[in-house]
């Protein structure tokens, strides 16, 4: 298949985002892929290849503060800024024709956030991956607690692999840990740290580790924003849920379907919050089948 070509996208406030584009051909419909918090564009490698083989131009980019994209010097990672970044990426790759957009976790929240901007958002199709406007508080807390742990990194890649395996007990620990180099970088002292800005958590999601009333109030405020965004989604929409996820539940799915009555849902058994990594074949099949109908 065509190798990905790396692009640099400049945001409105001067942040440079790293993006991989598979086959930028005007004759192909465009699909934008947004990763979850703490991940980067490489999380989509298998899905991007599958989508490209099905005839799409595929773009996966690193959210600000993640992967090879710039860290925001002022620690600005609010929903409005992330949504504005997404529209900058859209303008760069598909200014004239509405692309489809696939957002996992934080990426899905960002997609919903684009509908709150004054400029609005127009998508050919929307795919949300294990994210709903209202999430399960304890599941979201577990994600943030994991991300905030080990601020000083890991002594070896094997040490990191053990921690990740404990966090995802349903997923087999890989025999070869070299793939972790895509989510970790080696510091000058030899320790391995995550490829994302710690300020991303501290500025946006520290409240999730707060068991006081204040924490739940902030959580509810974000939920209400996303609910407002969901009500404005009018493109063909698919919600993909991991049945082992503790972040999205049947109750949050039911609420989402009331907000977006035209949305379709697919449950993927044996997968948790990171569906594409747990069972990429099942995930990619669901997405390609949906997009094939949506682009007709």
Final residue belonging to a domain, choices 128, 160, 194: 194
Q: What pLDDT is attached to residue 47?
A: 97
Q: Based on the fold, state whether residues 87 and 163 are members of the same structural domain.
A: no
Identify whether residues 233 and 272 lie together within a single domain: yes
Strands 237-242 and 192-194: unpaired
Q: Is residue 147 part of a domain?
A: no
**Domains held by the chain: number:** 2
pLDDT digits (tens, 9 = 90+) for 146-162: 999 999 999 999 999 99
Strand partners, 100: 31, 125
What is the residue range of 273's domain?
Answer: 5-140+199-294
Name the region of 136 (left: φ>0; alpha: ψ -120 to 50; beta: rest): beta
In a domain, 108, yes or no: yes
Confidence of residue 119 (pLDDT cuts 50, 70, 90): low
Q: Within this chain, do residues 173 and 33 fall inside the same structural domain, yes or no?
A: no
What CATH number is given to the structural domain containing 228?
3.40.50.1820
Q: Give mean pLDDT, residues 90-112.
A: 95
* pLDDT tens digits for range 102-116: 999 999 999 999 999
pLDDT tens sequence across 255-281 = 999 999 999 999 999 999 999 999 999
Here the tokens at position 87 are: 């529209």
pLDDT at 41 over 70: yes
- Predicted confidence at residue 2, as pLDDT, reads 67
């Amino acid at each position: 298949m065509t190798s990905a070509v790396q692009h640099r996208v400049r945001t409105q406030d001067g942040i440079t985002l790293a993006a991989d584009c598979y086959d930028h051909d005007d004759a192909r419909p465009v699909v934008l892929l947004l990763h979850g918090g703490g991940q980067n564009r490489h999380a989509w490698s298998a899905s991007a290849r599958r989508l490209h083989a099905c005839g799409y131009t595929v773009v996966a980019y690193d959210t600000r503060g993640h992967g090879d994209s710039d860290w925001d010097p002022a620690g600005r990672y609010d929903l409005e800024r992330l949504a504005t970044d997404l529209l900058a990426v859209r303008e760069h790759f598909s200014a004239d024709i509405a692309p489809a957009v696939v957002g996992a976790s934080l990426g899905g929240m960002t997609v919903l956030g684009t509908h709150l901007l004054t400029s609005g958002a127009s998508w050919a199709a929307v795919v949300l991956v294990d994210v709903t406007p209202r999430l399960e508080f304890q599941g979201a807390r577990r994600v943030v607690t994991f991300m905030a742990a080990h601020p000083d990194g890991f002594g070896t890649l094997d040490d990191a692999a053990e921690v990740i395996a404990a966090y995802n007990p349903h997923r087999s620990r890989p025999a070869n840990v070299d793939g972790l180099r895509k989510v970790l970088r080696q510091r000058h002292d030899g320790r391995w740290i995550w490829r994302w800005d710690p300020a991303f958590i501290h500025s946006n999601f520290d409240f999730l580790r707060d068991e006081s009333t204040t924490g739940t109030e902030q959580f509810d405020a974000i939920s209400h924003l996303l609910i407002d965004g969901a009500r404005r989604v009018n493109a063909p929409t698919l919600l993909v849920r991991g049945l082992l996820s503790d972040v999205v539940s049947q109750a949050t799915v039911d609420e989402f379907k009331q907000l977006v009555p035209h949305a379709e849902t697919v449950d993927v058994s044996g997968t948790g919050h990171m569906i594409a990594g747990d069972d990429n074949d099942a995930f990619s099949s669901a997405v390609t089948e949906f997009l094939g109908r949506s682009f007709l």
